[in-house]
C-alpha cells in the first residue's frame, strides 16, 4: 500500500516536473525521446535541428539532407521538403541549413498538434525573406510600450554573463520561423553603437546564430555627432559618411552576419536628414552605401508626421511618394499597417502599393499599446490578416498588401515584415498567457500569410495548453471573437485614438490639453460636435481618400458605401445618419459599445467553462486578467457614451445596460502607465 502510494506520488511529481507558469511558451513537448537522426552535413544550425528531433521526435528515423539539386535550390535558404512516413522514416531536404531547422520544427509541430497521419509530403517556403521582431527596449532595460516586465537583454551583465533566456528566446523564434531581431528601441540611444555596447550585442548575436536569428540595430541618425563628436550628422558631409563606414566595418568585424539598421528619422523629435535640408532618401542611401559591401540592409521607417494643419493620416504618403525610385536596392521602407498608429482598427496605409519603385515592408505591433496592454485578451491574427489580405488595387484587383510586400507581385531584392515585440523578463514572457499567441501568430503569418487566424489559434492552443478538442474548439472561438470585442468596447465604427493621453490605456475621448500637440489629442481624431462625430477624410474634408487607388478611394469617400466599420475614420457623420441596420448612428454606437461589454463578459464565461481542462495556475491567471478586461470594457462604454451624449443629446436606448459611472468622476481619473501595470488605477 505504502509502496503504491509512493509510486503514485513519484509519477505525479514527474508529470508536474514543470510548473505551468507559461515560461515554456508553446514549446512544451516531452524531451525524453531518443530518436535516430542523421544529417549529411554538420554545422551549429544543423546541430540544433538534430538535437530538437533527437529529444522530441517519437517516430521512425529522420534523415536531414542538404541537397544541391535544382529542386532544392528553388526552396531558397529557408525552404524545405518533408517526405516519408512517421512509421517507416522521414527525410527532410533543404538547400541550406536554416531550411533544415525550420523543417525540423515543422515536423515537431505536426506531432505536437496531432496532425501526423500516414504519409508526409510537404514543401514549404516562406512568404517573406526577413521575418523580424522589433524590440523597443532601452539600454536601461525599460521597454517603450512594454507590458511584460523589463527588457530581456541584461545589458549590465553582458557580455560576460549570458542569460539562459537568450537561447530560449532564439529557439522560440526559430520554431515559428522568425529570423531577425532588432534589439533596441527605434527611439535609439546613440550609445548602442559604442564599442562597449557592440561587444554586448556581439555576445547576443553569438547565442542567436545557431537558431538562424540575425541581429539588427536601431540607430540614432545623430550618432556621428552625439557619439562621434563630429560637428553635424549631415548625410552629405564626407566626414559623416566616413564615420558610418567605419562604424559599419567595426560592427561586421564583430558580427559577420549582422542584418542591418532600422531607422526612425525626423519623427516625434528624432533627428534625421531633414535637419540638414536633406531628404529621407539622402539619409537612407548614405547608410545603405555603408552597409552594402557586407550585404546589410536599411529599414527606414515611414512613421513620420508633424503637427501641421495637414491630416496626420496623409503625411507619410505625402513625404514618401515624391521620393519613389530614389532609394538604393538595400533600403526598404518600413510602413505601419495603418496610416495613423496601431489602432484597434485602421484601414491599411495607402503607402502600400503607392511606392512602385521602392521596396516596402509592413510593421505590425504585437505589443498591445492600444489594445489594453497585457491586461486584455485580444488575439491579433485577425487584425494582422485584415491588413495583409486588404486589396490595395495597385495596378488592378488582387494586389493585396501581402502580395505587394512579399515579392509575389513585385519582384524585390529584399522582402521583410516586422512586429513590435511584446516580450519582457516576466515569467510568462508576454504578461498575459494569451499574448504569447500574438507573438506566435506574427511568426506564422510572416512565414505564410495565407494561414487562417483559426488554424494558427488551434495550433497554438494545442501546443500551449492541451490538444483536447473539448478545450481547443471553445478556446479558439474565444480567441477569434476577442479582437472584434475589443473594437466594440473601445472604438467601434472607425473611431480611433481616443485613448487616455500618453499611457494609451483607457478612454479619454474628452482629451484636450491646451498648448499640447493637436495631433496627439483625442478630440482631433473624433471631432464630435452637435452635428455628428468622425474625421471627414472625404473630398469635402482632408481628402485622405484620394491617396487610395480606385475603386477604393471612391468607396471610402462615399458615406453611403463606406464600410461601416470604417465610417467614422473617413466621415463626419450626423448623429441621425441612417445605418444599414436601420438605426441612427447614435443608437448604433450605443449598441456597439454595449455589445463590446457583453462580448467581454462572454470571454469570461467561455473561459470559466474550460477550467477542468487545464492547469489551475494558468487558468487562474487568465481568469484574473479577464476580470480586468470586463471592468475596463464597462469603463470604456460609459466614458464614450456619456461623453458623446453631451454632443448628440440623444437618449441611450432603454434596453441597453445603464451607465454605472458618472462622467464627472471619469473626467478625474488620472494615472500613469506604471499604475496600470501595478493594477493600481482607480475608476470610481
Ligand atoms: O505609437 C507610437 C508610440 C511611441 C512609438 C512610436 C513609433 C517608439 O506611442 O511610443 O515610439 O509610435 O512607432 O515610433
Query: In this predicted model, what pLDDT tens digit does every residue of 125-138 receive, in sequence order?
Result: 999 999 999 999 99
pLDDT of residue 2: 52
Task: Report whether the peptide linkage leading into residue 159 is cis, meaning its omega lies within 30 degrees of zero.
Answer: yes
Cα(590) to ligand 1 centroid in Å equals 31
264 touches ligand 1 (CB under 6 Å): yes
- Whether 341 is catalytic is yes
637, 489 contact by CB (below 8 A): yes
Cα(96) to ligand 1 centroid in Å equals 37
136 touches ligand 1 (CB under 6 Å): yes
Does 13 score more than 50 pLDDT?
Answer: no
d(CA 214, CA 332): 17
- Whether 468 is catalytic is no
pLDDT of residue 580: 98
Name the DSSP class of 348: P
Q: Given ligand 1 and candidates 182, 341, 344, 418, which is best to mutate, with the most ligand atoms within 8 Å of its CB?
A: 341
Q: Given ligand 1 and candidates 135, 136, 182, which is best to mutate, with the most ligand atoms within 8 Å of its CB?
A: 136
Nearest to 593 by CA among 484, 481, 480, 478: 484
pLDDT of residue 1: 46
Q: What are the φ and ψ backbone dihedral angles of 137, each rounded to 5 degrees?
A: -95, 130
Q: Which residues pair with 121 in a beta bridge?
A: 83
Nearest to 214 by CA among 262, 183, 162, 179: 179
Name the DSSP class of 293: G
Cα(185) to ligand 1 centroid in Å equals 10
Does 663 score more than 90 pLDDT?
Answer: yes
- Whether 268 is catalytic is yes
More confident position, 43 or 516? 43
Cα(486) to ligand 1 centroid in Å equals 21
207, 200 contact by CB (below 8 A): no
402, 126 contact by CB (below 8 A): no
Question: Is the Cα torsion angle 369, 370, 372, 377 positive or negative in sign?
Answer: negative
187 touches ligand 1 (CB under 6 Å): yes
Does 313 score more than 60 pLDDT?
Answer: yes
Between the two ends of the chain, the Cα-to-Cα distance in Å is: 58
pTM summary value: 0.97
d(CA 478, CA 467): 16
Ligand 1 atom with the smallest distance to the CA of 186 is 8
d(CA 36, CA 626): 44
Residue appearing with cell numbers 473630398: 539
135 touches ligand 1 (CB under 6 Å): no
571 touches ligand 1 (CB under 6 Å): no
173, 209 contact by CB (below 8 A): no
Nearest to 329 by CA among 413, 249, 402: 413
d(CA 365, CA 337): 9
Nearest to 387 by CA among 446, 436, 439, 321: 446
Ligand 1 atom with the smallest distance to the CA of 336 is 13
Question: Is the Cα torsion angle 466, 470, 476, 481 positive or negative in sign?
Answer: negative
Q: How many of the other CB atoms lie within 10 Å of CB of 427?
A: 12
pLDDT of residue 498: 97
Phi-psi region of 84 (alpha: psi -120 to 50; beta: other; left: phi over 0): left
Name the DSSP class of 322: G
656, 595 contact by CB (below 8 A): no
pLDDT tier at 14 (50, 70, 90 boundaries)? very low
Q: What are 138-168's pLDDT values in tens digits?
A: 999 999 999 999 999 999 999 999 999 999 9
Does 354 score more than 60 pLDDT?
Answer: yes
Domains recognised in the chain with CATH numbers = 20-124 (3.30.379.10), 130-451 (3.20.20.80), 487-535+572-677 (3.90.1330.10)
pLDDT tier at 516 (50, 70, 90 boundaries)? confident
Residue appearing with cell numbers 470585442: 485
Q: What are 209-224's pLDDT values in tens digits?
A: 999 999 999 999 999 9
* Range 46-71 average pLDDT: 97
Q: What are 401-456's pLDDT values in tens digits?
A: 999 999 999 989 999 999 999 999 999 999 999 999 999 999 999 999 999 999 99
Q: What are the φ and ψ backbone dihedral angles of 122, each rounded to 5 degrees?
A: -120, 135
Task: Dump strand ranges (E) for 395-489.
Answer: 416-420
Q: Which of 112, 124, 289, 369 is catalytic?
A: 369
211 burial class (0-12, 13-18, 19+ CB within 10 angstroms)?
A: buried
Task: Dump strand ranges (E) for 288-399.
Answer: 297-301, 331-336, 360-365
Name the DSSP class of 580: T
Cβ neighbours for 624, distance < 8 A, ≥ 6 positions apart = none
Nearest to 417 by CA among 482, 366, 491: 366
Name the DSSP class of 261: E
Q: Given ligand 1 and candidates 145, 301, 302, 364, which is best to mutate, with the most ligand atoms within 8 Å of its CB?
A: 145
Q: What are the φ and ψ backbone dihedral angles of 313, each rounded to 5 degrees?
A: -65, -15
661 burial class (0-12, 13-18, 19+ CB within 10 angstroms)?
A: middle
186 touches ligand 1 (CB under 6 Å): yes
- The residue nearest atom 2 of ligand 1, judged by CA position, is 341
SS3 labels along 374-399 = CCCCCCCHHHHHHHHCCECCCCCCCC
Ligand 1 atom with the smallest distance to the CA of 370 is 1
Task: Dump strand ranges (E) for 138-296.
Answer: 180-182, 214-219, 260-263
Cα(373) to ligand 1 centroid in Å equals 14
pLDDT of residue 33: 98
Amino acid at each position: 500500500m505504502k509502496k503504491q502510494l509512493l509510486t503514485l506520488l513519484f509519477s505525479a511529481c514527474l508529470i508536474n516536473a514543470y510548473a505551468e507558469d507559461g515560461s515554456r511558451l508553446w514549446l512544451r513537448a516531452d524531451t525524453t525521446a531518443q530518436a535516430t537522426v542523421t544529417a549529411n552535413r554538420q554545422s551549429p544550425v544543423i546541430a540544433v535541428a538534430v538535437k530538437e528531433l533527437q529529444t522530441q521526435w517519437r517516430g521512425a528515423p529522420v534523415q536531414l539532407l542538404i541537397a544541391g539539386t535544382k529542386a532544392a535550390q528553388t526552396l531558397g535558404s529557408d525552404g524545405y521538403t518533408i517526405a516519408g512516413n512517421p512509421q517507416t522514416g522521414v527525410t527532410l531536404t533543404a538547400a541550406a541549413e536554416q531550411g533544415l531547422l525550420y523543417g525540423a520544427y515543422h515536423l515537431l509541430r505536426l506531432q505536437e498538434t496531432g496532425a501526423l497521419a500516414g504519409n508526409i509530403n510537404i514543401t514549404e517556403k516562406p512568404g517573406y525573406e526577413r521575418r523580424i521582431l522589433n524590440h523597443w527596449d532601452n539600454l536601461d532595460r525599460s521597454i517603450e510600450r512594454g507590458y511584460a516586465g523589463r527588457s530581456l537583454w541584461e545589458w549590465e551583465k553582458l557580455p560576460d554573463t549570458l542569460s539562459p533566456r537568450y537561447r530560449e528566446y532564439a529557439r522560440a523564434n526559430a520554431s515559428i520561423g522568425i529570423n531577425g531581431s532588432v534589439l533596441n528601441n527605434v527611439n535609439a540611444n546613440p550609445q548602442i553603437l559604442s564599442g562597449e555596447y557592440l561587444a554586448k550585442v556581439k555576445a547576443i548575436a553569438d547565442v542567436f546564430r545557431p537558431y538562424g536569428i540575425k541581429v539588427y540595430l536601431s540607430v540614432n541618425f545623430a550618432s556621428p555627432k552625439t557619439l562621434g563628436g563630429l560637428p553635424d550628422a549631415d548625410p552629405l558631409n564626407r566626414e559623416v559618411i566616413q564615420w558610418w563606414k567605419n562604424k559599419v566595418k567595426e560592427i561586421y568585424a564583430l558580427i559577420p552576419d549582422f542584418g542591418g539598421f532600422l531607422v526612425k528619422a525626423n519623427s516625434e523629435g528624432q533627428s534625421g536628414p531633414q535637419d540638414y535640408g536633406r531628404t529621407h532618401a539622402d539619409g537612407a542611401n548614405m547608410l545603405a552605401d555603408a552597409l552594402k559591401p557586407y550585404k546589410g540592409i536599411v529599414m527606414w521607417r515611414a512613421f513620420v508626421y508633424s503637427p501641421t494643419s495637414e491630416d496626420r493620416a496623409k503625411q507619410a504618403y505625402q513625404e514618401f511618394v515624391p521620393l519613389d525610385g530614389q532609394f538604393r536596392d538595400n533600403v526598404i521602407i518600413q510602413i505601419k499597417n495603418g496610416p495613423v498608429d496601431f489602432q484597434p482598427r485602421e484601414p491599411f496605409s495607402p503607402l502600400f502599393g503607392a511606392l512602385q519603385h521602392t521596396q516596402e515592408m509592413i510593421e505590425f505591433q504585437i505589443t498591445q499599446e492600444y489594445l489594453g496592454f497585457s491586461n486584455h485578451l485580444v488575439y491579433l491574427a485577425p487584425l494582422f490578416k485584415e491588413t495583409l489580405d486588404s486589396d490595395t488595387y495597385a495596378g488592378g484587383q488582387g494586389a493585396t498588401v501581402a502580395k505587394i510586400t512579399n515579392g509575389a507581385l513585385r519582384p524585390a531584392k529584399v522582402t521583410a515584415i516586422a512586429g513590435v515585440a511584446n516580450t519582457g523578463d516576466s515569467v510568462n514572457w508576454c504578461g498575459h498567457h494569451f499574448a504569447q499567441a500574438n507573438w506566435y501568430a506574427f511568426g506564422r503569418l510572416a512565414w505564410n500569410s495565407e494561414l487562417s487566424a483559426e488554424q494558427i489559434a488551434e495550433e497554438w492552443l494545442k501546443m500551449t495548453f492541451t490538444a483536447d478538442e473539448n478545450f481547443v474548439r471553445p478556446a479558439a472561438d474565444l480567441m477569434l471573437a476577442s479582437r472584434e470585442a475589443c473594437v466594440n468596447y473601445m472604438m467601434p465604427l472607425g473611431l480611433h485614438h481616443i485613448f487616455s493621453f500618453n499611457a494609451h490605456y483607457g478612454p479619454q475621448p474628452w482629451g484636450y490639453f491646451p498648448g499640447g500637440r493637436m495631433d496627439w489629442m483625442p478630440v482631433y481624431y473624433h471631432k464630435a460636435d452637435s452635428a455628428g462625430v468622425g474625421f471627414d477624410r472625404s473630398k469635402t474634408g482632408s481628402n485622405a481618400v484620394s491617396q487610395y487607388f480606385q475603386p477604393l478611394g471612391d468607396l471610402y469617400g462615399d458615406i453611403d458605401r463606406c464600410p461601416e466599420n470604417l465610417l467614422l475614420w473617413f466621415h463626419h457623420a450626423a448623429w441621425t445618419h441612417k445605418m444599414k441596420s436601420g438605426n441612427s448612428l447614435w443608437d448604433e454606437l450605443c449598441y456597439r459599445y454595449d455589445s463590446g461589454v457583453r462580448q467581454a463578459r462572454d470571454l469570461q464565461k467561455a473561459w470559466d467553462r474550460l477550467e477542468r481542462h487545464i492547469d489551475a495556475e494558468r487558468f487562474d491567471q487568465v481568469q484574473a486578467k479577464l476580470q480586468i478586461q470586463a471592468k475596463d470594457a464597462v469603463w470604456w462604454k460609459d466614458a464614450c457614451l456619456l461623453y458623446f451624449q453631451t454632443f448628440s443629446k440623444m437618449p441611450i436606448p432603454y434596453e441597453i445596460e445603464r451607465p454605472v459611472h458618472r462622467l464627472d468622476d471619469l473626467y478625474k481619473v488620472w494615472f500613469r502607465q506604471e499604475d496600470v501595470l501595478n493594477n493600481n488605477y482607480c475608476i470610481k
